Structures are given as C-alpha cells and as structure tokens.
Structure 1
Amino acid sequence: MPSQLSLVPRRRPAPPALVVVAHGSRDPRALRTVRALLDRVRARRPGLPVHLGHIELNEPLLTDTLAGLDTEDVVLVPLLLGRGYHIKRDIPEMAAATHPHARVAGALGPHPLLIDTLVARLAEAGWPSRTTDPQRHETAIVLAAAGSRDPDNAADTDRTAHLLSARLGVPVVPAYASTAEPAVPNAIADLTARGYTRVAVASYFTAPGRFATECARVAPWVVSAPLGAHDAMADLILHRYEGCLETRADTNAA
C-alpha cells in the first residue's frame, strides 16, 4: 500500500526567470511596444516568470529589476540586435553588480527569425508579393540599423543584410542612423545613383524611437515599421532563453 507521502503531488520547480533587457527610449511608443512584445512571450510560455529591465532612460532599470527578484536562477535576454558595448560590457557588469548568478544571452541577431520579422514588416508597408524580373533589377533595400563602433556589430548587421537579400532576391545594403558608415541617406543616394529606382528602407530597430523616425523620413519608397511586437520576435527571445539553459546543462554534464 503506498504511503501517504507518495500520494502528495510534487511541486515542479519554477523555471528560471526571464528578464528581457531593453535599451530604453524617450519615445513613449518604445515602452508600449516592448511591453506588448513581452505579453506575446508570456502567452507562449504560461508560467514562465517574465520581467523587463532597461539599460537607461526608462523604468524599471535593469539593476532595480534584478534587485527585486527573489530567485538566483535568472536568464537575461538583451533586446539588442547585434554585438556591441551594451552586450559585452554594460549588461554583464550591471548583472554582476546586482545579481552575480544571472546568465546573460547573446544578441538577438543575426537569426532567421529576424528575417521573418523584417519580411513581414516590409509586406505590411507595401513591399510587393510578386515582382517581375525588370522590377527586381530596379529594386534594392537599405537595412537601417542603429550603428556601433564595434566591428562585431557591423559584422552582425552585414550578416542580417545577406540573409534578407537571399530571402527576397534583391540587393540589401546595411546602413546606420549614427556612429557607423554608411549613413542611411548616403546609402539611399548611392543606390539611386547606381540606377535603382525602387529603394526600400527596412527598419532594423526593435521599437519606435528617434533613429527609426529619422530613417523613415528619408525613405524614397517603401519603409517598414520597426520589428516590434511580432510573434517571430517572441519566439526568438524564448530561443535565446532556452539556449542559455542548454549551455548551462551541457556545462554541468561535462
């Protein structure tokens, strides 16, 4: 006869908390967009503790979010598209100062799920579902990104441009809103001078803000919205989260 203790259901341990790390923006649309994206993450993983922390400009700040957690088992997923200072220094240092056991995932990009989102946003903005060969030869895309002095960031953006070009079958030129070259207006002008009469701008930003707005103003044709609250973005956040857990499991097994 089973003992009474064996009849008591065992409570499953809570999964590690997910903290999504956004940069922060003075544009109120950015915070609304990030919160909507986190709602999609929660809908995909009911029961997963999902939190938000910002590097700067918005509350809650990452350090405050980490300080308020009552668990040591935490995974940080930066809402950043490429490697750079925030990924390599800021976020790890902020985590080490307030939650030293936290694991930090890498940048979201490059990844095919980002390409899915870029293509969807371009389609929403009017990118044609079908093009003739003559039209394709006149068409190009500027992948408008934030920019960084870190060469790894440029390499990540270049890779995303290559993946997007392969998906859509037209040239894709990475360009930047600040810091790096070429600037978005210069990339548009260069493509126009080379004979491309239909130059689209793909907004490679996670949320609305100053950079996305400035790039949209100079777009001569189709311009997509930032990546924002899209299902593929939610899937990518969870993919980076799970990747951190798998890395920890492999390390423990070794």
Structure 2
Amino acid sequence: MSLPVRERSPRPGGGRHRRPVPTSLPPDAPVLVLATPGDTTGVATEIADVVRVDNPQIEVRLTSVADLADTLPSGREAVVVPLLTWGDPAVMAEIGKAVAAGGGSAVVTDALGPHPLLAEALHIRLAEKGLARADRVRVLNVSSPVDAVILGTVGGERAVHAVQATAVLLASRLTLPVVAASLDSEPGVPVAAQRLRAAGAARLAIAPCLIGHEAPAGIVESAAGQINAGHAAPLGAHGAVAELVARAYGSQLAS
C-alpha cells in the first residue's frame, strides 16, 4: 500500500518566498520563450500551459530548438528558457546559434537544474509509485520502501556529472543513498545497481531526472527491467518544473 503524497504548499507572496515574477509587468516586458529539444506536443505543451496559468502576466511562447529562430519576437526582448534538467552542451549550442540567427534581443538562461525544487519533484514522483516515503517529517518512523535510488539521466558521462548535485539533494531528502547513472551509455544503470547491491542495497528504484522529451520512449522501463527495480515517472509538468521556468525568467528581469 503506497503512502499518500503531500504536494507542495503554495508559498506566501512576501519575504524570501516572494513570487519569482512580479504580478504585473509592462506591456513591453520580455517574452518568455520555452525551447524544447524535442517536439512541442505532450509534456512540453503541458508545462507551457502550467506556466501561463500560474503567470498570466507573462507572454509565453513554446518552440522546438529547431524552430527557435523563427519564434523569437521581432523588435522585442525575449528570455529563452531551455526545458532541460541539465545544460546539455549540444542543445545549448543549438539554442545559442538559433538566437544569433534570430537577430533579435534575446538572452538564454541556464538549464533548470540542479536545484532543490528538482529534488523535491523527484521525491514526489517516487512517492507516487510507492517507492519513497511521502513526507520527510511526519513519517520518519516508517521504513523506506527501497534501500537506494539510481538517478537516471541521458547524455553520457557528462550528464551523470552534471546531475550529481541533484543526486546529493535527493539523497538528503530521502536519507538514502542516491547514485547518478546514465540510461543511454555504458557504464550505466546496471553497473550502478551492481555496486549498490554489493554495498547491501537489495531494493532499488530508478528516479528519471528527465522532463520527458529528452529520451526515447521506454528507456526508463527497460533500464528498470534489467536490474529488477521499480521506477518513477519522469518529472513531466510537475509544478516545480513550471516554477523553475518562472524563476529563470524572473532572474533575468531582476538583472
């Protein structure tokens, strides 16, 4: 029986929890352009919709990286936010070229991670599948459903290195070992699983550090099947992802 998942509580508007974007913006405020490495259907559209609902004062455009140059506004500033959990150099380079080709006034933010909000969303995705305690505070006396977690990413060793900080943040939340491993290259998830089990972790779970469009369909399920482990869903349109997008945009306004 899985434990109930506690979603994040709305944060108050003042103090250190102030809104990432002012509630009102001038008509000529920069356009927020979400750039996805995949197509603009499915999860990318869902994220854009959540950002629009949460921030109606922002004009939000969604585009694939391939179509970015044609999506940038003419004669108006834009903030391009890559829909990535880590700064994949190949994708970031494509975005930079597209912005240069667009000829407008646009700045590109960093990727969405690493960030504590990503770790929070990963925790919730695990809890939704009964693979983690749902609440760090209220149920500390309940044993964990797994002994260790593999943080799955795509992009080879560079990606594994880039998500290490997120793995540390997730380990702190779960009070369990969390090891980052590649879903699309070797040494990958099987090697990570072998090392964890050699250290005494019998029950494993995979937490995909993916928004959902970065990898082929079924890659997480296949990896979990290879090591006889459970797995969470990708981050998808979790509220934390939408908030990180808004924060990336808001940081550019502030600067």
CA shift at 1:245, angstroms? 1.9
Tell whether the 8 Å contact from 2:147 to 2:204 is kept in structure 1 after alignment.
yes
- Corresponding residue SS for 2:163: helix
Tell me, which stretches of 5 or more residues in structure 1 are unaligned?
1-10, 248-254
- Corresponding residue SS for 2:105: coil
Residue matched to 1:167: 173
How many residue pairs get aligned? The number is: 223
Residue matched to 1:200: 205
Residue matched to 1:51: 61
- Corresponding residue SS for 1:31: coil
- Cα distance change of structure 1 residues 128 and 82 upon mapping to structure 2, 3 Å threshold: closer
- Cα distance change of structure 1 residues 50 and 62 upon mapping to structure 2, 3 Å threshold: same
- Cα distance change of structure 1 residues 36 and 137 upon mapping to structure 2, 3 Å threshold: closer
Does 2:47 align with 1:37?
A: yes
Q: Percent identity?
A: 34
Does 2:149 align with 1:141?
A: yes
Aligned equivalents of 2:31, 2:56: Cα separation in 1: 12
Residue matched to 2:112: 108
Aligned equivalents of 2:144, 2:127: Cα separation in 1: 15
Tell me, which stretches of 5 or more residues in structure 2 are unaligned?
1-24, 134-138
The two structures have a TM-score, normalised by structure 2, of 0.79
1:97-149 deviation per Cα after TM superposition (whole angstroms, max 9, x unaligned): 1134201000110001111110111111112425769x559700000001246
The two structures have a TM-score, normalised by structure 1, of 0.79
- Corresponding residue SS for 1:102: strand
Tell whether the 8 Å contact from 2:154 to 2:215 is kept in structure 1 after alignment.
no
RMSD: 2.5
AA at the equivalent of 1:227: L
- For the pair shown, the structure with the greater C-alpha radius of gyration is 1
- Cα distance change of structure 1 residues 224 and 138 upon mapping to structure 2, 3 Å threshold: closer
- Cα distance change of structure 1 residues 165 and 149 upon mapping to structure 2, 3 Å threshold: closer
Which has more helix, going by share of residues?
1
Q: 2:184 aligns with which of 178, 182, 190?
A: 178
AA at the equivalent of 2:210: F
Tell whether the 8 Å contact from 1:104 to 1:244 is kept in structure 2 after alignment.
no
Tell whether the 8 Å contact from 1:77 to 1:240 is kept in structure 2 after alignment.
yes
Residue matched to 1:15: 29
Aligned equivalents of 2:85, 2:216: Cα separation in 1: 14
Detail structure 1 runs of 4+ shifted over 3 Å in the superposition.
Answer: 130-133, 135-138, 208-212
